[in-house]
């Protein structure tokens, strides 16, 4: 009698472990197949998010430039002398004021200072990046390998951990008795 109850308990533990193994293999296989099928969509999603963030940053820069121009226009309207000073700087006209010394700046010096200012204004080091696992899973060979591995896991789940016809017959005969 004790031997029979131990055998039933052993069968239940065996059934639970087979069911658990079946669920794990099936879930991993389904996730692998889903990932291989949806890899292109995930790549497009991340790429779109990066473009959206870049567009938002560009819009913020444009808003700052517009505000700077508005302030400059207000200053020009309030003080017309500013316009004469800006005219000589922007158009390259030599000023004819006798008591003022103007520094001479070469193009290379101006370019170096301009680059330094631009680098300080926009830190591009924090740009979002597409995760490497998504970039790898988009490659056709790796995508196919992921799909085949998932299909193999599903096949293993059903063939090794699925229900046996012999076990089903034993259960049915023991349930009737």
Concatenated DSSP letters for 42-102?
HHHHHHHHHHHHHHHHHHHHHHHHHHHHHHHHHHHHH-THHHHHHHHHHH-PPP--TT---
Q: What is the pLDDT of residue 136?
A: 86
Q: Considering only CA atoms, which of 54, 73, 77 is closest in space to residue 65?
A: 73
Number of structural domains the chain divides into: 1
Lowest mean pLDDT among 20-34, 88-102, 146-160: 88-102
Alpha-carbon distance values, 39 to 114, 146, 148, 151 (Å): 42, 10, 15, 16
Indicate whether 77 pLDDT > 80: yes
Task: Answer with the residue of higher pLDDT: 43 or 10.
Answer: 43
Q: Comparing 1-5, 92-96, 146-150, 158-162, which segment has the lowest mean pLDDT? A: 1-5
Determine the Cα–Cα distance for residues 46 and 73; give it in Å rounded to an integer.
41
Q: Is residue 70 part of a domain?
A: yes
How far apart, in whole angstroms, are the C-alpha atoms of residue 51 and residue 69? Answer: 27
Please check the confidence at residue 168 and state whether its pLDDT lies above 70.
no
Residue 7 domain-assigned (yes or no): no
Q: Given a cut of 60, is residue 148 above it in pLDDT?
A: yes
Q: Rounded to an integer, what distance in angstroms lies between the CA atom of residue 146 and that of residue 149?
A: 5
- Using a pLDDT cut of 90, give the percent of the chain over it: 29
* Gap between the Cα atoms of 24 and 26, Å rounded: 6
Residue 76 binned pLDDT confidence (cut-offs 50, 70, 90): confident
Best CA proximity match to 32, nearest among 160, 149, 138: 149
Whether 14 is covered by a domain: the verdict is no
Q: Say yes or no to pLDDT of 75 above 60.
A: yes
Q: Is residue 177 part of a domain?
A: no
Domain coverage including residue 36: 31-164
The answer to whether position 26 is within a domain reads no
| pTM for this model (two decimals) | 0.54
DSSP 138: T
């Amino acid at each position: 009698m004790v031997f029979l109850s131990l055998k039933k308990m052993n069968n239940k533990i065996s059934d639970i472990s087979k069911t658990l193994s079946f669920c794990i293999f099936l879930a991993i296989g389904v996730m692998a197949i889903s990932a291989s099928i949806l890899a292109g969509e995930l790549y497009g999603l991340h790429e779109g998010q990066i473009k959206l963030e870049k567009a938002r940053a560009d819009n913020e820069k444009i808003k700052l430039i517009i505000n700077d121009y508005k302030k400059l226009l207000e200053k020009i309207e309030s003080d017309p002398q500013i316009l004469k000073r800006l005219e000589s700087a922007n158009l390259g006209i030599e000023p004819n004021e006798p008591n003022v010394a103007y520094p001479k700046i070469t193009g290379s010096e101006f370019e170096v200072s301009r680059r330094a200012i631009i680098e300080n204004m926009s830190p591009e080091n924090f740009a979002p990046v597409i995760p490497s696992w998504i970039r790898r899973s988009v490659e056709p060979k790796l995508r196919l390998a992921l799909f085949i591995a998932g299909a193999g896991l599903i096949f293993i789940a059903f063939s090794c951990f699925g229900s046996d016809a012999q076990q089903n017959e034993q259960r049915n005969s023991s349930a009737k008795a």
